[in-house]
Structure 1
Amino acid sequence: MTSMMERSPGFPAAPSEEPDWMSCRRCRVLLYRKRFDRAGGVCPECGWHSPLGADRRVATLLDRESAVRVAPPETVHDPLSFVDLEPYADRLSKARARTGLDDAVQVVRGTIQGRPVVAAVMDFAFLGGSLGAAAGEAVAVAAETALADQAPLLLVTASGGARMQEGTLSLMQMAKTAGAMARLDEAGLLTVSLITDPTYGGVAASFATLSDVLIAEPGARMGFAGPRVIEQTIRQKLPGDFQTAEFLLGHGLIDGVRARAELPYLLGTLLSAAARREGRDGGGVGDGGGGEEGGGGRARERDAEDVAVRDPRGLTRRPVDQAVRLARDLGRPTTLDHVAEWTDRFVELRGDRAGGGDCPAIAGGLAVVDGLPLVVVGHQKGHTTDELVRRNFGMPSPAGYRKAMRLMRLAAKLRLPLVTLIDTPGAYPGLEAEEHGQAHAIAECIRLMGSLPVPVVSVITGEGGSGGALALGVANEVLICENGVYSVISPEGCAAILWRSPEAAGTAAAALKIDAASMLELGVVDGVVPEPDGGAHRDPAAAARLVRRAVVHAVRRLRGRDGADLVAERRARYRRFGSVDASLKEKGILP
């Protein structure tokens, strides 16, 4: 098979045909061209990512010699017979001669780290990567090819916006491509956008931002209107980093900013987590990340026994106030600690996509654990004062719950199990949180979790505080760590309200029965995950491995179940709470 690099006339000239030295466009440092090319077109001094043509982009992202061109059908040519300073037909001819490309989007089939993918790659050198009929058709054909192949779609964007010379036919490409993306959503196929500099106008307002995962190169700019237009409209000076990848990440509009060298591994991880296996989609689960032989660099535990304690009589009772202290210990593993111990393959996804920002109190993403592709979402506290402050002590804002919901919907779309890790004093009770609809965000999260047609497993790893915890806790199987607690209100809050004294927190904790053994007796949880002697903080790695074993066992038990049955079972679980249960009477828990 001939590589795209070898057969495409659009590939950049060999370094020997260009001057040996060049100047970085950003820092103006003199660079040796061969070193610059070996670095993927990235300045070693300032990190500037130079533009790449479509063919070279394909060569840097896809496995060597795996790319096969997909030719879109012919589209209308110069539909308006448009003339500005020169005829549009002449502009097209010159662009084709100069770039060796038919139009601004190239479509290929290929693989990334051995995983199949269809890619639509834009080239800014062709009339500024503008979106016209041919470019829109190419994106639509790429989506249809991905649908036919049942493969993920990768979009690499670089565009100044719609192609004005094609009038409203150019505008219609936004609807065409959005419809093509919707079909992939309906089919449950992963879509990924790699945002490169620049991505504006009709491309940003259609297919580029409709992908499941949005990754941008450092410094890449994306927006609907350009900064010059915005400044003229609002008559204000814009921030220096306005619309850059870093700006977008801070406002919750993309998932990450990654250097060019990281992209093949990152994309390979995403494709691995979203991999389909024939006949494995029941209940939303297929093997991925190594198939039957494992994934993520961890040993498989297909037949591992259940580590969770299911009978309250098998638990050692301790004073409830002691459990509260242990649940809050800063040495306990956080969500990201658990994920780091569970697997080597994890891509954190960030942002609520609604401009609310990226709430640091919620962390989550796509992972492969013991060969199982999962979506993991959890509260994130921290171990130091600085981290606790930055993570808002694990108390999510509305943007945090909306980020969680975005990941939950991704799990449903890709038919992947959802695992949630709960450790929060509660949702953030602040002025800004209320202004942005904290109650509504929590309610939506609870409703969505109850309706997901995939296996859902929740683990209370530390503190399960109020509705802020329940928003991540509506599951088919709910587990709690041995020293975890789960409560309608903090013991301090209960003591202040009912005892009217903060000194009564211990008494309130005991009265509320918030410890793991009581939760198991009440049927609120299905099992208790043991901890190392003295608590999870004594050996966080061992504690994380125990949770992993419990999660894997639960997911394997639930996988393959029909989605409708999983939803019905989950709703029935919560429907019965508060009803008179004869078994609880027999145990003496209810009078």
Structure 2
Amino acid sequence: MSEVLSRPPAGRAQWSRCPGCRLFLYERKLARNLGVCPECGWHGRLTAPGRLDQLLDAGSRRALDIPVATGDPLGFTDSRPYPERLREARASTGLEEAVVCARGAIEGNAVIVAAMDFRFLGGSLGAAAGELIAGAAGVALSERTPLLIVTASGGARMQEGAIALMQMAKTSQALGELDEAGVLTVSLITDPTFGGVAASFATLCDVIIAEPGARLGFAGRRVIEQTIRQTLPDDFQTAEFLLEHGVIDLVRPRSVLRGTLGRLLATAARRPPAGLPPEPGPDAAHLVTDPAALPDRDAWETVRSARDIGRPTTLDYAGQVFEEFLELHGDRLAADCPAIVGGLARLGGLGVVAIGHQKGHDVAELTRRDFGMPMPAGYRKAARLMRLAAKLGLPVVTFVDTPGAHPGAVAEEQGQSVAIAENLRLMAALPVPVVAVVTGEGGSGGALALAVADRVLALSGAVYSVISPEGCASILWRDAAAAPRAAAALRLDARRLLGCGVLDAVVEEPDGGARGAPAQTAARLRAALAATLRELLPLDAAAVVAARRARFRRFRGEGPSGIADPH
């Protein structure tokens, strides 16, 4: 398939043929549609200046003055000398190099942008292009402004040899400095992005967004097929393929890119004037800290209620507790586990990172999401998002609702125990406030991997235990039918968990429970989170970590904090 618009026969110069559906398109209509075919959705290549015009707010664009010089370090000549190719690229594009850098705003949010232009020697990464990327990162660093990199490249520039190779290290180093400074970085992958660009700054950003069909990879398809003598899938290295395999966060059509980037920048960067969520409303009265104030419920009935597929899921709460939720995907290694969801959210204007187990409300969704039982990729996705929260200084809110981690050979082969253990260690040391809420079923280490928090809350209809009642009954009573007896013995309901200090507070569910009154439950949960975060946010990072570690250090055989079981 051709990757650029082809011209029609003479006399029809205002028309172009779409490489996707092969239809002729009126160029003015194509331009009005942002270079996207209105028939098949094929995304045509844009110039770097055209890309900046589309993304940045009108009148906000200002060129960055980053002095660079392109040399000829090798005296390279193929069919023509390298300097001649450079002169031709400059003349045909009107650009000095393959990267254009600017400052501006997207929906009112300040941003530094470095946009690559494939027309300039295939967007190849040479010394000057690397210096422009690193220079834009330097401006973002000095101004503490988010950096957006738009990629379009065939890879490192061969005519500059090892000097071009060094640009991979230079640009990666520049992004590392932004990580250390807590500055948000975003890459927008456009077609194509290969080689040294893909293996450096393009995939090192905090959030990776791709246009539909955009290809991203280290080696090209033809090279791989010739090397391994295999036929690759049709969608190999496309944005959709990479999303499924956990490499990128989002695939967004060009028509909604500005909106997506605006939401992302706002959620990650904006703070309310006081740096705190709003004062909790009257629903905050439903945050219970006295176990005696909770009703004494039958343990087995509570277990059955906590498992009810009608109870709200993490995504349900994300849509009602927060004003904004932008889901991010993938562990950046191999997969996007659907049993854990997470992303950037806003609570009363305060940016937070929200993560939770996701079950479903019907058999199809439950099956697709493995009944909320995460694979190792799910815990690694959660860990990636928690590290992003630490970098940006955003509190973490987790929603716990899982029977446990996914059991099975594949999970074990992929390091299930290691993934859980690493999350426990990571959460214990996160330098930002962490609040966990058990919303349904808190099963074993699979639940704890999202619950090493400063404050652990639970809905009054939730349960939390070292093992399922059925598992306990099968092991100790050798009879799964003894599950009700095991549930009572495990003391896994909210009242008893609050009494022994595993929980810090309980959010009382309205009449009818979370299933019967989901909106009211979400309102109470929102108030509880706001109240808890207002308590934690004034603490500095060292105090937060020290208190969290002390909280879990207290759990000894005699019961933490000397709190008696109210039963």
1:345 pairs with one of 317, 324, 329: 324
Aligned amino acid, residue 408 of structure 2: G
CA distance in 2, matches of 1:223, 1:581: 53
Per the TM alignment, residue 73 of structure 1 is displaced from its structure 2 partner at its CA by 1.4
In the alignment, what sits opposite 2:80?
A: 86
SS of residue matched to 2:75: coil
- Aligned position for 1:37: 31
Provide the C-alpha distance between the structure 1 equivalents of 2:560 and 2:470, rounded to a whole number of angstroms.
Answer: 33
The yes-or-no answer on 1:442 pairing with 2:420 is yes
Q: Does 1:578 align with 2:553?
A: no
Residues 76 and 384 from structure 1, CA distance in 2 versus in 1: closer, same or farther, beyond 3 angstroms?
same
**Alpha-carbon distance, 1:343 to partner:** 2.9
CA distance in 1, matches of 2:353, 2:498: 26
- TM-score by length of structure 1 reads 0.92
Q: Determine whether 1:243 maps to 2:243.
A: no
Q: State the distance in 1 between where 2:288 and 2:87 align.
A: 72
- Tell me: CA distance 1:589–1:483, structure 2 relative to 1, closer, same or farther (3 Å): closer
The equivalent residue for 1:211 is 205
Deviates more, 1:455-464 or 1:573-582: 573-582
Quote how far apart the aligned CAs of 1:556 are. Answer: 1.5
**Displacement, 1:75?**
2.4
- Within 2, Cα distance between the matches of 1:371 and 1:69? 31
Structure 1 SS opposite 2:209 = strand
1:581 positional shift = 5.1
CA shift for structure 1 position 20: 3.0
**For the Cα contact (< 8 Å) 2:389–2:395, is it kept in 1?**
yes
Candidates 286, 290, 301, aligned match of 1:322: 301
Name the structure 1 match of 2:195: 201
Q: Distance in 2 between matches of 1:134 and 1:582?
A: 61
Cα RMSD (Å): 1.8
Q: Structure 1 residue 384 and structure 2 residue 378: aligned?
A: no
Residue of structure 2 equivalent to 1:282? none
Q: What residue identity is the alignment partner of 1:32?
A: Y
Q: For residues 259-304 of structure 1, give each alpha carbon's deviation from its aligned partner in whole angstroms, at most 9, with x where no partner exists.
A: 011111111111112216xxxxxxxxxx26xx56999xxxx44566
For 1:331 and 1:302, how far apart are their aligned partners in 2?
27
1:468 equivalenced with 2:446 (yes/no): yes
- Which secondary structure state, in structure 1, belongs to the residue aligned with residue 213 of structure 2? coil
Query: How far, CA to CA, are the matches of 2:38 and 2:48 in structure 1?
Result: 22
Q: d(CA) in 2 for partners of 1:344 and 1:85?
A: 59
Letter in 2 for 1:462: G
Query: For residues 582 and 418 of structure 1, do their structure 2 counterparts lie closer, same or farther at Cα, with a shift above 3 Å needed?
Result: closer
Give the alignment of 1:529-568 within 5 angstroms.
529-568=507-546
How many residues in Structure 1 have an aligned counterpart in Structure 2?
556
1:232 partnered with 2:226: yes
Q: 2:64 touches 2:102 (CA, 8 Å); kept in 1?
A: yes
Task: Tell whether 2:493 aligns with 1:515.
Answer: yes
Whether contact under 8 Å (2:280, 2:527) holds in the other structure is no
| 1:562-582 per-position Cα deviation (integer Å, ceiling 9, x unaligned) | 101111101110101025359
> Is the 1:331–1:540 Cα contact (8 Å) retained in structure 2?
no
Partners of 1:75 and 1:137 within 8 A in 2: no
Within the alignment, does 1:266 sit opposite 2:260 as a pair? yes
- Give 3-state SS (helix, strand or coil) of 1:274's partner: helix
Aligned equivalent of 2:135: 141
The question of 1:408 aligning with 2:377 is answered no
* 2:330 equivalent to 1:336: no
2:15 aligns with 21
Cα distance change, pair 263–292 in 1 and its aligned pair in 2 (3 A): farther
- Per-residue CA deviations over 1:284-336 (Å, capped at 9, x if unaligned) read xxx26xx56999xxxx4456645310101111121111111111111111111
Amino acid in structure 2 at the alignment position of 1:114: G
CA contact (8 A) 1:88 1:165 kept: yes
**Cα distance in 2 between the residues matched to 1:583 and 1:265:** 48
TM-score normalised by length of structure 2: 0.95
Q: 1:541 to 1:302 in 2, by over 3 A?
A: closer
8 Å CA contact retained: 1:464, 1:484:
yes
In the alignment, is residue 121 of structure 1 matched against residue 115 of structure 2?
yes
Deviation at 1:95?
0.5
Q: After the TM superposition, which of the residue ranges 498-507 and 389-398 deviates more from structure 2?
A: 498-507
Helix, strand or coil for the counterpart of 1:377? strand
- Inter-CA distance 232–329: structure 2 relative to 1 (3 Å threshold): same
Q: Would the aligned equivalents of 2:499 and 2:565 in 1 still touch at CA under 8 Å?
A: no
- CA–CA distance in 2 between the matches of 1:552 and 1:526? 15
Q: Give 2:286's aligned amino acid.
A: V
* Mapped partners of 2:276, 2:488: distance in 1: 44
Unpaired runs of 5+ in structure 2? Answer: 1-10
Contact between 2:323 and 2:348, CA under 8 Å: does it hold in 1?
no
Distance 1:229 1:63 in 2: 40
Deviations 1:55-106 (A, max 9, x none): 1100111111101001221224122221111111111011001000010001
| Residue 171 of structure 2, aligned match among 150, 168, 177 | 177
Q: Is the 8 A contact 2:432 2:544 kept in 1?
A: yes
Mark the CA change 1:340 to 1:404 in structure 2 (over 3 Å): closer, same or farther: same
* Cα separation, 2, equivalents of 1:114 and 1:18: 41
Percent identity, aligned pairs only? 59
Contact 1:301 1:370 (8 Å CA) reproduced: no
CA contact (8 A) 1:306 1:553 kept: no
Distance 1:141-1:577 versus aligned 2 partners, 3 A rule: same
Q: CA–CA distance in 1 between the matches of 2:321 and 2:40?
A: 35
Counterpart in 1 of 2:290? 311
> Which string of whole-angstrom CA distances, capped at 9 and with x for unpartnered residues, describes residues 384-421 of structure 1?
10000000000000010000000010000101000000
State the SS of the aligned residue for 2:401.
Answer: strand
Counterpart in the other structure of 2:124? 130
Tell me whether 132-141 or 576-585 shows the greater mean CA deviation. 576-585
Structure 1 residues 366 and 582: CA distance shift in structure 2, 3 A: closer
Residue 36 of structure 1: how far off its partner (Å): 1.3
- Cα distance in 2 for partners of 1:584, 1:345 equals 40
Q: Which residue number corresponds to residue 453 of structure 1?
A: 431
